[in-house]
Structure 1
């Protein structure tokens, strides 16, 4: 029987870890535990291991990596039934891995995590891509990389489609080969987890659930304390919660970090309204 123990990290230690030492699954479950304090991490480790164990004989007997990942995708997306939640794309449950495992529904980044974790247990170095607008995954193959869309059943994507998808999120400008290659670089674990938290911030801010929005921004700062946008976002959430001291501190810090930001003038006006001293420009 495989060992299903899993230890979640502590929030206060995450900023000190190098990207390659930051555990993806345990930290994603740590994010979920904020909303679901009673979740059992070992249950989801067992579930992932069961997916991998079911596939192991077939995957080990297959030589080519594209065929291995095709078998994994078929099992996860066709047999088990993981799928993108098109009907309720902005449901926050799509970003919490325990809910994704239970409901078999997720958004691009959470489904990518499931795909990555199963593939890695089977020896395939599947990686995430912080593609603009829609998170993707990549697998090295002999002649390059295979790019797939976990939100749509792991469907492979060709260069023309990737270029078109990028264009719609880059102001209508289609990326050339060098820019597209940079976009397709693998995302470090920290970047993946921060993107998940930013998604949650956006969902909760849109819903007016400012306590959860503030928490999401605060968790980004636990991963990367110098993220100016998260400092601003937490400050704006604090403002909505009437935590005025926290709002003043965060918004003033944001302006010191990003004095030339496109929203700097509006943030300065907010600070004046809060009774804070207008930050001096240098």
Structure 2
């Protein structure tokens, strides 16, 4: 009998170094917050089946780019995984169980599927926390194959990457060194935190403060010192009427980030809550 697919404990994640932080299992743990009856074995088995359907074909291919082409064809053309262009900010796009069932997702969730299937097949695919849309990368000799999972795994050339990056850097295209830094592989913790930031943004936009606050809290379980998540959780607590928690988190944020652009407004809020206006 196969062993059940284990999920980690939220209270232990901060103690794990990046290599020991399980990417798929923690993504399913995030989803279980919203779907408490989620069966992680189901999705592990599903992704395993995606990979096994390709194993013979992939093992017969020598070229890394052609291996990746076959994986993308299977995922995006045969299985129908696709970027949700019509409802980009739908929170379901960030929950891996929903992505696997609906075959719809955002860039980072589709990258998660791509990465998991590729790595099961021995293809060393990594994520890239590119500004804007999350991307994936595969080392090929002395260069990189960079792909866009939101658009069916389409390869991106250097010119397009520079153009995409420039939109987030005041219109200036990055030089070679800057582009390589941007294309550095994203660690597991960074990927998981980006998923949670997407969820926080979607829920905060919809004024669903319970779920927005939960998302910020989960970021802090992964990275207890994250300043933005402290602020976001504190503001969420404030919206929910949890004054003590709001006061503690906002004061902690201000102590860690006293010169932040939002610090003056937050100090005023802290005074209103009965806390010190300026950290000692």
| Normalised TM-score (structure 1) | 0.97
Contact 2:43 2:100 in 1 (8 A): yes
Instruction: Using the TM superposition, give the Cα deviation of residue 171 of structure 1 relative to its aligned residue in structure 2, in angstroms.
Output: 2.0
Unmatched segments (≥5 aa) in structure 2: none
Quote the Cα distance in structure 2 between the aligned partners of 1:148 and 1:199: 20
Contact 1:146 1:156 in 2 (8 A): yes
Quote the Cα distance in structure 1 between the aligned partners of 2:242 and 2:269: 14
Paired position in structure 1 for 2:266: 267
Residues 200-241 of structure 1 deviation map (CA, whole Å, 9 limit, x = unaligned): 000000000000000000000000000000000000111111
SS class of match (2:241) = coil
Paired position in structure 1 for 2:20: 21
Quote the Cα distance in structure 2 between the aligned partners of 1:147 and 1:38: 36
Instruction: Using the TM superposition, give the Cα deviation of residue 66 of structure 1 relative to its aligned residue in structure 2, in angstroms.
Output: 0.3
Kindly indicate whether residue 167 of structure 2 is the aligned counterpart of residue 164 of structure 1: no
Query: Aligned ranges for residues 248-259 of structure 1 at < 5 Å?
Result: 248-259=247-258
Paired position in structure 1 for 2:70: 71
Instruction: Using the TM superposition, give the Cα deviation of residue 4 of structure 1 relative to its aligned residue in structure 2, in angstroms.
Output: 6.5
Unmatched segments (≥5 aa) in structure 1: none
RMSD (Å), alpha carbons: 1.1
Query: Aligned ranges for residues 73-222 of structure 1 at < 5 Å?
Result: 73-222=72-221
Contact 2:255 2:279 in 1 (8 A): no
Contact 1:52 1:118 in 2 (8 A): yes
Quote the Cα distance in structure 1 between the aligned partners of 2:220 and 2:137: 27
Number of aligned pairs? 280
| Normalised TM-score (structure 2) | 0.98
Structure 1's consecutive aligned runs of 4 or more residues displaced over 3 angstroms after TM superposition are none
Instruction: Using the TM superposition, give the Cα deviation of residue 275 of structure 1 relative to its aligned residue in structure 2, in angstroms.
Output: 2.2
Quote the Cα distance in structure 1 between the aligned partners of 2:189 and 2:232: 18
Quote the Cα distance in structure 2 between the aligned partners of 1:260 and 1:176: 30
Instruction: Using the TM superposition, give the Cα deviation of residue 277 of structure 1 relative to its aligned residue in structure 2, in angstroms.
Output: 2.0
Instruction: Using the TM superposition, give the Cα deviation of residue 136 of structure 1 relative to its aligned residue in structure 2, in angstroms.
Output: 0.2
Paired position in structure 2 for 1:277: 276
Quote the Cα distance in structure 2 between the aligned partners of 1:5 and 1:64: 35
Moved more, 271-280 or 112-121: 271-280
Residues 185-212 of structure 1 deviation map (CA, whole Å, 9 limit, x = unaligned): 0000000000000000000000000000
